[in-house]
Amino acid sequence: MATFAERRRKDGTTKIMAQIVRTVGGERYNESKTFDKRKTAETWAKTREREIDAEFAAGRKIGKRSEKRVTLGDAIDRYEKESMQEIGDTKTQVLRTIRTEYDIAEMRCDEIESKHIVSFVQSLYDRPGLNSPSTAGNYLSHLSSVFAVARPLWGFPLDQQAVRDAHTVCSKMGIVSKSDERSRRPTLDELDRLMDHFQRATLADKRTLPMHLVTAFALFSTRRQAEICRITWEDYDADAQRIMVRGMKNPGKKKGVDTMVELPDPCCAIIAAMPKVEERIFPFNEDTVSRRFTDACKFLEIDDLHFHDLRHEGASRLAEMGRTVPQLAAVTGHKAWKSLERYTHVRQIGDKYAGCEWIAKVTGGAG
């Protein structure tokens, strides 16, 4: 039974403090609340005791009533509102989708168990176009971020162990998985055909985007298409054979980091072949670069080759030429060397592009 005690405030008025003390499963549970009238306090105590009994009978952990009104959706809203670290577009979209389209967002925080989380992840496969365990894994990973801070930061009773257990189950059952490392590399024949195609297009129309230069620079510099299209002449140090890559992609953060990287041969010769028409060295739209590359592969019937595969090819080439992981990182800009370990197992076979006829064409004869 609840107990009631009168307390006098500093202004002379009286307040009634209702206190509920229960011992459940060997643990002492204590909850109190203050009211102006005794009748209101008694009504609250009776209602609250019934709720506690129901929670105990259902085998759920007992939490304060104020906590029980909070839903997972409320936690997501607060996470997005209060995070001082910028949340990337993908994470924002995922959390908004969970918040607005899935019933788990309407569940009280204290009610959510691992089975509910697993059921939610399984239901993701009903989404049009979502048939990848790695994509489902991304949803679970982003949701886990909310669980990680909800209780210690706001007192929301989200059980972090529940999401850990759900992740274990989903991994064991193949419902989620990490993204597979892509290992596609262009063959010498494929690159010969691509370069010939791009060079012919430029010779036919000088106004055409010189994709042979962009493609060669991407391969030898290991730069991403967006980075290539941002590099300015001011960012380029020809004497030191380096460039400052503005806003280089940084895992876990929305904003990139300005990073100085080395330019292996023949990158500087390729830059020297570019006309100086504006502040950018490669004054092109990154989407146009991607589309031209994709269209060329389709026309030449080169299957499953992406522009980003040139970055992997460039790093592999350097490893085959004998570069160590730190030396690779100086070119690629990777902060975590562990992500470059995949390149250390290749055989050191030298530069497989030595002697390629198209190198002279993309370097103006300087390569």
Give the Cα separation of 218 and 202 in Å (integer): 18
Query: Is the peptide bond between 266 and the residue preceding it cis, with omega within 30 degrees of 0?
Result: yes
Residue 22: strand pairing partners:
29
CB 272 within 8 A of CB 183: no
Give the Cα separation of 334 and 283 in Å (integer): 25
Per-residue confidence (pLDDT) for residue 367, from 0 to 100: 46
Give the Cα separation of 172 and 177 in Å (integer): 9
C-alpha torsion 205→208→210→215, nearest 10: -120
State how far Cα 195 lies from the chain centre.
Answer: 33
Per-residue confidence (pLDDT) for residue 53, from 0 to 100: 79
Per-residue confidence (pLDDT) for residue 220, from 0 to 100: 96
Question: What residues of the chain score a pLDDT lower than 50?
Answer: 367
Query: Residue 228 corresponds to which amino acid?
Result: I
Q: Domains in the chain and their CATH numbers?
A: 3-62 (no CATH), 68-172 (1.10.150.130), 188-362 (1.10.443.10)
List, for residues 256-284, the tens digit of each pLDDT value: 788 999 999 999 999 999 999 999 999 99
Per-residue confidence (pLDDT) for residue 41, from 0 to 100: 83
CB 44 within 8 A of CB 32: no
Query: Residue 55 corresponds to which amino acid?
Result: E
Per-residue confidence (pLDDT) for residue 56, from 0 to 100: 74
Per-residue confidence (pLDDT) for residue 254, from 0 to 100: 55
Length, in residues, of the chain: 367
Per-residue confidence (pLDDT) for residue 60, from 0 to 100: 67
